[in-house]
Structure 1
């Protein structure tokens, strides 16, 4: 496989993931009056205690601003050797005090340097190891094949400090090591033969429940949050029977809901993928446990490089997420019930500008005329169907142009392509799942349209812009030129943190600069619009006309 092959794929985590995982500078002190006094009192006591005891042994952390951070804490045994393609095992106990001041390696991938199969580690930020705070577990995105919980974007210091919460990030297995299926890889201890990354995430949550109190967290108040692939995982984990006593609430952000052929392999194609890789490497499918890791990774990526209609496999056209296996993924998202826990659902106003703007993980020349626009739209539509007739692309462009005219939005080729890209894979499914929950769900669901614009030459509110403001990392020197670090950006970030942390604390999202936020009711002003000069306001979901094309033409799951 050539070095450029991964760049031809749609990497949800974005170009920023090419930066090596590292720590970030201390951020400003919390300004939320509802939690600042609590945090200060805790700090004044003994929050500089750097050692605590987990179920596997003692760990020693480090001061990070007004918090303590424990980096690289094992939550499972390394999935190497005979444990490759096996269910996660508990971490091996250790004696003495384990140093937890450095991040572990990212999970094995082609994007972040220094990645390794030995990567099942957690990072914990806490205002104090004493107390009983809400716990926010964040699952990183990256299309299920890149990313790391240690990436600077997900530095938990600001969220933990201002929100007075325990914040956990972590790694899970990626790509062909984490998201496939083959019955010849059945684990003799568990019987599982698929979705090892999802199994890792479940193991992490069990570890958090068992160890939350050691970090000043409440084991009975765990909120699972994630972006893109991570948002999808939060949704799926909440539906697992064994998670019902673990997960209290979820915050799926720009969730890449799973369906085939766009966002997952069919079980048949997943099995064929491992058959082909084993044949290429001159071994059997069970023999892949002993094969060279780089060779397995490269062979997997080669199967999914190039245009989706020219590949050997018909599914997994955009991402290779969870595979329906009857156990960890009983069915695709739209075929399963809606979560029974409270949900705070977030989407970005212009999801597609992450993929069509500067710094796109899949650099493609922007269309400049009608012929190029139709070719670009056809390429988007091919992500979800085996063939795209010219008439389908024409209807898509016409529908989006009509919607833009009705709402006074730009209708140039770049703008139309951008909206179609983001709506098809992200905004439309997220909105329709929220509407379904409002019709059939039994728990409250809140909807946020994150709308804070980025700076030129970037445009709109891209996919993954949300993580910068949830973690306050829009302030980092490499992020501020795109996302801003002025007074308004800080108010937007503080409000986002306050909303999520209050939701994690008691189930109702509130913030000083946000109006009262009602439970989502389609057709009524019940969506919180976050971003822009007014910071936060309640309105109906914007750009609803654009979503009709997908419903009327049967592209993607019906909800």
Structure 2
């Protein structure tokens, strides 16, 4: 054994990690068994203990997903159903237990993987003297398509499999992270986009209570959680795409996963085109694992009593317009279709209120107005609904990420969806020919990144996003003053910066129960 490797004993066996700068990293540790065969469409099972020393030099297989999606799959990554693994960055164990940060990646519940270069945990680990964990979980048709309505006496399909995977990973952290120098009683769960939506959902899932002690939700689509009736309709359409009759539903367990991924990809294109503003696959209110719509659970005071940081980016939809993605409505036609679908789905909603919302966006015929309404419906208002409710019983901080480099401003992308990620992880230049600094701005971005990381790390260690470097104090969000941190070249704290928008939308306009 040399200084470049480190073998630790955990609950399931010995694992060999490798030095990475001032840290050690273990990649591809299984936190659950394979989900192929009998495990497909079922809750994850505990991993089998392994014999000998597990070599953790490579990331594990990634969740099956479209190879043609906007998140590039690098050549060293292999898809497979034995994908439930996690990665750990930790200082060399010295007997001291350190705070743990567990990352849930985004990707609209259908894309992404923990081994993306932007999620490399070394910088956070070294900067904060913390343990960083990143997690793979099932995606798309294998993870967030609820087929439970198709269950028969001989073939059971379980719901919310991706969420069940995330819970299993948190249980593994609870049981095993001490061996890697992490404190299982000091866990911060954080995620972005659908990863942030997973965080807000898990904050209301009874089974997840006690598995994490702080939470950070970055751009969470908190209202993109759907009912069981809609899920059953989507399940039927999935069978149609596959040309599988309902009497033969058991064959879904034996079909090559590539066929399921391809059918899921068809759904991903169809659903938001037919009903703009909705996702094809997402968490479902199954009245079992997820007993209530998360926003309604927050508003009823049912979220877990843990400190929370939550926020969104100023220009969320611009990246979807740039990519010509159907995931967000970014023109007037699509936005009006979204509102019509909302009115049809929720006949109890006041049509005058919906008209008032539309009237509050005078630029709506233009793309700028459509994107503003879409941004507020998908991200900004859900963030405020969650924050307003959670702050009644637990410390809550709200941010808005406004920073954009000169090239992002010039291309009108601005502070688009996911542009805060390199600032959180400290990993710039992970996108190949990364254009981020083509017109300069690296020094300013590095300063912003330093502040973001110090706040996130202070929160993980102390439960308060303190700025120990003289940056502007970040007071908690309370319904009275609604103080919000605007993150830019200079951090500022503003009282209720979106007051007019918030008043127009109201507290419960979406009508979730």
What is the TM-score when the length of structure 2 is the normalising length?
A: 0.85
Matches within 5 A, 1:18-33: none
Matches within 5 A, 1:63-78: 63-78=19-34
Q: Which residue number corresponds to residue 55 of structure 1?
A: 11
Q: How many residues align?
A: 489
Q: Is residue 97 of structure 1 aligned with residue 53 of structure 2? A: yes
Q: Which residue number corresponds to residue 328 of structure 1?
A: 289
Q: Which residue number corresponds to residue 230 of structure 1?
A: 195
CA distance in 2, matches of 1:393, 1:442: 30
Q: Is residue 427 of structure 1 aligned with residue 391 of structure 2? A: no
Q: Which residue number corresponds to residue 417 of structure 1?
A: 370
Q: Is residue 149 of structure 1 aligned with residue 114 of structure 2? A: yes
Q: Which residue number corresponds to residue 41 of structure 1?
A: none
Q: CA deviation at 1:351?
A: 1.5
Q: Which residue number corresponds to residue 470 of structure 1?
A: 424
Q: CA deviation at 1:354?
A: 2.3
Q: Which moved more, 1:287-296 or 1:521-530?
A: 521-530
Tell whether the 8 Å contact from 1:473 to 1:479 is kept in structure 2 after alignment. no
Q: CA deviation at 1:128?
A: 2.0
Q: CA deviation at 1:508?
A: 0.9
Q: Secondary structure at the match of 1:378?
A: helix
Greater RCO structure (CA 8 Å; 6+ sep): 1
CA distance in 1, matches of 2:230, 2:326: 24
Q: Which residue number corresponds to residue 397 of structure 2?
A: 446
Q: Secondary structure at the match of 1:305?
A: helix
CA distance in 1, matches of 2:329, 2:193: 24
User: Which runs of no fewer than 5 residues in structure 1 stay unpaired?
Assistant: 1-45, 367-372, 403-410
The CA deviation string for residues 393-440 of structure 1, in whole angstroms up to 9 with x for no partner, is 9865541238xxxxxxxx9923222212211111111112211223xx
CA distance in 2, matches of 1:165, 1:52: 17
Q: Which residue number corresponds to residue 354 of structure 1?
A: 319
Q: CA deviation at 1:138?
A: 0.6
Q: Which residue number corresponds to residue 462 of structure 2?
A: 506
Q: Secondary structure at the match of 1:434?
A: helix
1:384 and 1:467, CA in 2 relative to 1: closer, same or farther beyond 3 A?
farther
Tell whether the 8 Å contact from 1:47 to 1:68 is kept in structure 2 after alignment. no
Q: CA deviation at 1:87?
A: 0.9
Q: Secondary structure at the match of 2:270?
A: coil
Matches within 5 A, 1:457-536: 457-476=411-430, 478=432, 481-482=435-436, 486-511=442-467, 512-524=469-481, 526-532=483-489, 534=490, 536=491
1:464 and 1:379, CA in 2 relative to 1: closer, same or farther beyond 3 A?
farther
Q: 2:498 aligns with which of 521, 526, 543?
A: 543
Q: CA deviation at 1:463?
A: 1.4
Q: Is residue 317 of structure 1 aligned with residue 274 of structure 2? A: no
Q: Secondary structure at the match of 2:187?
A: strand
1:385 and 1:308, CA in 2 relative to 1: closer, same or farther beyond 3 A?
farther
Q: CA deviation at 1:379?
A: 4.6
Q: CA deviation at 1:499?
A: 0.8
Q: CA deviation at 1:547?
A: 4.1
CA distance in 2, matches of 1:163, 1:249: 16
CA distance in 2, matches of 1:490, 1:231: 24
What is the TM-score when the length of structure 1 is the normalising length?
A: 0.79
Tell whether the 8 Å contact from 1:145 to 1:175 is kept in structure 2 after alignment. yes
Q: 2:89 aligns with which of 125, 147, 152?
A: 125
CA distance in 2, matches of 1:290, 1:254: 36
1:365 and 1:445, CA in 2 relative to 1: closer, same or farther beyond 3 A?
closer
Q: CA deviation at 1:514?
A: 2.5
Tell whether the 8 Å contact from 1:234 to 1:251 is kept in structure 2 after alignment. yes
Q: CA deviation at 1:492?
A: 0.9
Q: 2:185 aligns with which of 215, 220, 231?
A: 220
Q: Which moved more, 1:324-333 or 1:77-86?
A: 324-333
CA distance in 2, matches of 1:425, 1:323: 17
Matches within 5 A, 1:85-484: 85-110=41-66, 111=69, 112-113=72-73, 114-130=78-94, 131-183=96-148, 193-259=158-224, 266-273=230-237, 275-276=239-240, 279-280=243-244, 284-306=248-270, 308=272, 310=274, 317-336=278-297, 337-356=302-321, 358-359=322-323, 361-362=325-326, 374-381=332-339, 384-386=342-344, 398-401=359-362, 413-438=366-391, 441-454=392-405, 455=407, 456-476=410-430, 478=432, 481-482=435-436
CA distance in 2, matches of 1:330, 1:479: 44
The CA deviation string for residues 441-482 of structure 1, in whole angstroms up to 9 with x for no partner, is 311111111111242214321111121210112344647522
CA distance in 1, matches of 2:413, 2:24: 36
Tell whether the 8 Å contact from 1:86 to 1:185 is kept in structure 2 after alignment. no
Q: Secondary structure at the match of 1:284?
A: helix
CA distance in 1, matches of 2:267, 2:10: 41
CA distance in 1, matches of 2:317, 2:3: 42
The CA deviation string for residues 325-354 of structure 1, in whole angstroms up to 9 with x for no partner, is 122111211221233111111211221222
Q: Secondary structure at the match of 1:431?
A: helix
Tell whether the 8 Å contact from 2:238 to 2:263 is kept in structure 1 after alignment. no
CA distance in 2, matches of 1:301, 1:324: 22
Tell whether the 8 Å contact from 2:201 to 2:222 is kept in structure 1 after alignment. no
Q: Secondary structure at the match of 2:216?
A: strand
CA distance in 1, matches of 2:32, 2:213: 22
Q: Secondary structure at the match of 1:328?
A: coil
User: Which runs of no fewer than 5 residues in structure 2 stay unpaired?
Assistant: none
Q: Secondary structure at the match of 2:399?
A: strand
Q: CA deviation at 1:229?
A: 1.0
CA distance in 2, matches of 1:322, 1:401: 33
Q: Secondary structure at the match of 1:473?
A: coil
Q: Which residue number corresponds to residue 556 of structure 1?
A: 510
